Copies of this chain bind each other. A is one copy, B any other.
Amino acid sequence: MSRPSASAAAAARARPVFSALGDETRLALVARLSAGGPQSIAQLTTRAGVTRQAITKHLAVLAGAKVVHDIRRGRERIWELDPQPLQDASRALDQISRRWDEALGRLRALVEE
């Protein structure tokens, strides 16, 4: 098995992703990019409820967490989802749950012995 700190380290690495997805606007952006594919800032701003500049800032935060990346094309900037960090974060959460189950099992064994 893994060392005690293995899942904790994985979670720590995923922390920027959690932080980025914790905001409602940003999570909506990710959902949109996930379902609608690569889109420009102007496109992502429509029906977002906030200014284009706000969207730009949010995209920068998401990019900082490696959740999205941009591709410049002419006068526009296309943003695309990066699924890998999301997968990693997903696995990290799963490991935390599993580790808890193990800890619970050990506790029960301790009580019943």
Q: How many residues of A are counted as interface, with CB atoms below 8 angstroms from the partner's CB atoms?
A: 41
Interface pair B83/A87, CB less than 8 Å apart: no
If A15-B24, A81-B100, A93-B93 touch, whether A37 touches B87 (CB-CB below 8 Å) is no
Looking at chain A's contact residues, the main secondary structure is helix
- Which A residues form the contact surface with B (CB < 8 A)? 4, 7-8, 11-12, 15, 18-24, 27-28, 30-31, 33-38, 81, 83, 86-87, 89-91, 93-94, 96-97, 99-101, 103-104, 106-107
Complex CA gap A99/B83 in Å reads 10
Which among B27, B33, B103 is the interface contact of A18 at CB below 8 angstroms? B27
* Closest CB pairs A-B (n = 5): A19-B22, A90-B93, A83-B97, A18-B21, A8-B31
Interface pair A27/B4, CB less than 8 Å apart: no
